[in-house]
Amino acid sequence: MSNPIDFYFDFISPFSYLAQVRLPEIARRHARELIYHPIDIPQAKIAAGNYGPSNREVAPKIKVLVADLQRWAARYGVPLVFPAGFDCLRWNAGALFAAQRGVAEAFVHEGFGRIWGRGIDPADENELRQAAQAAGLNPEELSDYSRSSLGQTEFRKACVEAHRRGVFGAPLMFVDDQVFWGNDRLDFLEEYLLTAEQGEMARP
């Protein structure tokens, strides 16, 4: 298999929600492994030197952003509902737990479907446990890991490693020597994959 697609996301990010709708299919279509990397977007922005306000704090921008999100959701045929809260830390740590057990795709899909597809409160412990169970994980183990010092430490380490790689936001995808930022860059990503495959086929 060729080099993987590294997918950096944060459950707080609606554009990460949209990106993960298409990315697994793109990866399978081009025989690329999709590796899930949860990050903390506010932390990534600060680490990269971006101290500006969040989108939610800029009224004219959020109005246009919400309309744009709804257009993308309609194009993908998925619901999009703003969640009741934005405390996604334990979900991001839970994604690490899921990745360690080989079910990152299932947990991430389930989590985003609940947070941005149904608008649940991410702080709801029962929702986290149900998502774990739906992904084939032990709900108690994932819950314990996501709140433990080990889980939080591992997540912080993952965020530091992402910053060292140049991750400044999400969704952000690395493939080979290319970087693609945003759900609206997925077509560029797939065009690159097609070009790379054609180059491989043309080699003697």
Give the CATH number of the domain where residue 82 resides. Answer: 3.40.30.10
Which residues touch 35 (CB under 8 Å, ≥6 apart)? 4, 5, 6, 7, 99, 104
**Residues 2, 13, 143, 148: which is the catalytic one?**
13
13 is catalytic: yes
Which pLDDT score is estimated for 204? 61
Q: In this structure, what DSSP letter does residue 124 have?
A: -
**Residue-level pLDDT at 129:** 98
Please count the structural domains in the chain.
Answer: 1
Is the pTM of the predicted complex or chain greater than 0.85? yes
User: pLDDT at position 45, please?
Assistant: 82
Q: What is the pLDDT of residue 122?
A: 97
Report how far apart, in Å, the C-alpha atoms of 108 and of each of 115, 116, 183, 201 are.
Answer: 10, 12, 16, 34
Q: Which stretches in the chain have pLDDT values below 50?
A: none
- Cα–Cα distance list, 44 to 21, 32, 38, 100 (Å): 23, 26, 11, 23
Model pLDDT, residue 51: 61
- Give the dihedral sign, CA 44/10/73/177: positive
Domain span at residue 184? 2-202
The predicted pLDDT at position 46 comes to 85
For 185-201, give one letter per residue: b (16+ CB within 10 A) or e: bbeebbebbeebeeeee
